[in-house]
C-alpha cells in the first residue's frame, strides 16, 4: 500500500494506493471524524461492479449506508443530476456529519464533490476513483463542478476531499479506450516535469498494457506525486498548476470542434503534439523528440493528428477556452522532456504552423 500527502492551504489529506478495498474502512476510521451516515454517489456502470464491495467493507461499522447512481457519461454532468443528488441526500436525511463517497470516474468525482461542497454549505467527502484518468488526475486537487449550457466545468467550487482511496484493480474492468485516454494524462506528467518518469513509462509499456498491478501502482503513485506536489503549491491555479494544462489549449478546442466525440485524453494527445511543434519552432525541441513522443502516444492508440478540422477554426476556437484571459493564448511549452514553462507570447504564425502539422 502506497501513500502520499496533499497539503494545501485549506486541507491536508492522504492519497492511498492499494490493489483492493481492504484498507478503505481503516483509512476512513483514521480520519477521526464523527460519521453519522455514508452516501455513495456513483454511476450506472460502476454501481453494479463496485458499490457492493465498498458497502461490504463498511456496513459493519457504518450500518447507515446508501447509494445513488446516475446514468454514466459527460451528458449527465449537469445541474439536473446535481438536483437529483440533492433530493437523494435529503431523502436519506444526510446531515452535517454525513460522509459522501465519490465512487467512479471523473464525472462522478466532480459531481459528487460539488454536491458535497454545496449540500448544507459543505459536508465531508472522499474520492474513490475507478478510472485511470480519475486516479491520476481528477480525484486529486479539489476541483469540483458541472457543465452548463455547453460550457465544460463552468460551474463549480474548489473543495478538497478528506481522502483519496485508489484501488488499482478496478482498472481491470475499465474499457481499453478509457484506459488509454487516462494514459495521456500520465504521459503528460512525465513530459512536463519528470524525464525519468517519461522513460520509466517507455521502458515498461508491455507491463502497463498488461495491467500488471505492481506497474500500475508505480505509475499511479508517480502521477499522483506530481499532481499532489503541484496542487499543494498552487491550489487555485494562480501559478504552476497551469503546467498541468500542457496540450489542453489545443486539446480543448479540438474537443469542442469535434462535439466531444473524441475522448479527453485523445484530444490532449493531439494538443501535446501541437505544443511540441510550437516548441520546435522556438528552437527548443527536436523533430526526433517529437517522433519519440508520437511513438509513445501511438502505443496507447492515442491520436497525434486530427482529420477534418481546419487549422484556422482550431485557432479561433482556442480563444473560447475559459482559461484564455485578456484575449491572450496561454501555451505550456517544453524546453526538453521533463521541463515545461508557460508562454503567453507565442506569435500567431508559429501557432498556425503547428496547427497545420496536426491537421
- Would you name the residues annotated as active-site residues? 121, 143, 185, 227, 237, 241, 245, 248, 252, 264
Write down the least CB distance from residue 224 to ligand NAD, Å: 12
- Terminal C-alpha separation, the chain: 44
Between 170 and 215, CB nearer to ligand NAD: 170
CB 14 within 8 A of CB 26: no
How far is Cα 212 from Cα 205, in angstroms, rounded to an integer? 10
Between 74 and 313, CB nearer to ligand NAD: 74
Between 107 and 354, CB nearer to ligand NAD: 107
Residues forming a β-bridge with 12: 7
Q: Three-state DSSP class for 33? A: coil
Between 170 and 304, CB nearer to ligand NAD: 170
Write down the least CB distance from residue 348 to ligand NAD, Å: 28
Write down the least CB distance from residue 359 to ligand NAD, Å: 24
Write down the least CB distance from residue 347 to ligand NAD, Å: 29
Between 151 and 319, CB nearer to ligand NAD: 151
Write down the least CB distance from residue 48 to ligand NAD, Å: 10
Write down the least CB distance from residue 353 to ligand NAD, Å: 29
Nearest-Å Rg of the Cα atoms of the chain is 20
What residues have CB less than 8 Å from 234, skipping those under 6 apart? 240, 241
Cα 250 to Cα 202, 287, 296, distances in angstroms:
24, 19, 19
Between 110 and 194, CB nearer to ligand NAD: 110
Q: What is the contact surface with ligand NAD in residues (CB under 6 A)?
A: 43, 45-46, 49, 72-74, 77, 104-108, 110, 130-131, 133-134, 137-138, 141, 143, 152-153, 170, 173-174, 178, 181, 264
Between 127 and 359, CB nearer to ligand NAD: 127
**What are the cell numbers at 70?**
446516475
Q: Three-state DSSP class for 135? A: helix
Which one, of 145, 147, 104, lies nearest residue 126 by Cα?
104
Q: Is 260 exposed, middle or buried (0-12, 13-18, 19+ CB in 10 A)?
A: middle
Cα 48 to Cα 45, 173, 227, distances in angstroms:
6, 12, 30
Which one, of 181, 332, 302, 314, lies nearest residue 256 by Cα?
314
Helix ranges (H only) for the chain are 24-30, 46, 52-58, 79-91, 106-118, 132-133, 176-193, 195-203, 205-209, 213-233, 248-257, 264-281, 287-299, 311-318, 348-358
Amino acid at each position: 500500500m502506497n501513500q502520499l500527502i496533499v497539503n494545501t492551504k485549506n486541507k491536508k489529506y492522504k492519497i492511498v494506493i492499494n490493489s483492493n478495498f481492504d484498507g478503505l474502512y481503516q483509512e476512513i476510521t483514521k480520519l477521526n471524524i464523527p460519521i453519522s451516515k455514508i452516501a455513495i454517489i456513483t454511476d450506472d456502470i460502476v454501481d453494479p461492479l463496485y458499490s457492493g464491495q465498498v458497502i461490504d467493507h463498511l456496513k459493519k461499522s457504518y450500518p447507515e449506508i446508501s447509494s445513488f447512481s446516475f446514468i454514466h457519461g459527460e451528458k449527465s454532468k449537469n445541474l439536473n443530476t446535481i438536483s437529483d443528488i440533492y433530493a437523494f441526500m435529503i431523502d436519506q436525511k444526510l446531515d452535517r456529519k454525513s460522509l459522501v463517497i465519490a465512487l467512479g470516474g471523473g464525472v462522478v468525482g466532480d459531481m459528487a464533490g460539488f454536491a458535497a461542497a454545496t449540500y448544507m454549505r459543505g459536508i465531508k467527502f472522499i474520492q474513490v476513483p475507478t478510472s485511470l484518468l480519475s486516479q491520476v488526475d481528477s480525484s486529486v486537487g479539489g476541483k469540483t463542478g458541472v457543465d452548463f449550457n455547453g460550457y465544460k466545468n463552468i460551474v463549480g467550487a474548489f473543495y478538497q476531499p478528506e481522502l483519496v482511496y485508489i484501488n488499482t484493480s478496478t482498472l481491470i474492468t475499465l474499457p481499453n479506450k478509457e484506459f488509454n485516454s487516462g494514459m495521456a494524462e500520465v504521459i503528460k506528467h512525465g513530459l512536463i516535469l519528470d524525464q525519468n518518469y517519461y522513460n520509466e513509462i517507455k521502458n515498461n509499456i508491455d507491463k502497463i498494457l498488461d495491467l500488471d498491478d505492481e506497474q500500475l501502482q508505480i505509475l499511479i503513485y508517480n502521477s499522483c506525486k506530481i499532481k499532489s506536489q503541484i496542487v499543494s503549491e498552487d491550489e487555485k491555479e494562480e501559478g504552476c498548476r497551469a503546467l498541468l494544462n500542457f496540450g489542453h489549449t489545443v486539446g480543448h478546442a479540438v474537443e469542442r470542434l469535434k462535439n466531444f466525440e473524441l475522448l479527453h485524453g485523445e484530444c490532449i494527445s493531439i494538443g501535446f503534439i501541437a505544443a511540441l511543434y510550437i516548441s520546435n519552432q522556438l528552437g527548443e525541441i527536436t523533430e526526433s523528440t517529437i517522433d519519440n513522443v508520437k511513438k509513445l502516444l501511438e502505443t496507447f492508440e492515442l491520436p497525434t493528428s486530427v482529420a477534418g478540422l481546419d487549422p484556422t477554426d482550431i485557432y479561433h476556437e482556442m480563444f473560447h477556452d475559459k482559461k484564455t484571459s485578456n484575449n491572450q493564448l496561454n501555451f505550456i511549452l517544453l524546453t526538453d522532456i521533463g521541463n515545461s514553462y508557460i508562454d503567453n507570447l507565442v506569435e500567431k504564425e508559429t501557432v498556425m504552423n503547428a496547427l497545420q502539422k496536426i491537421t
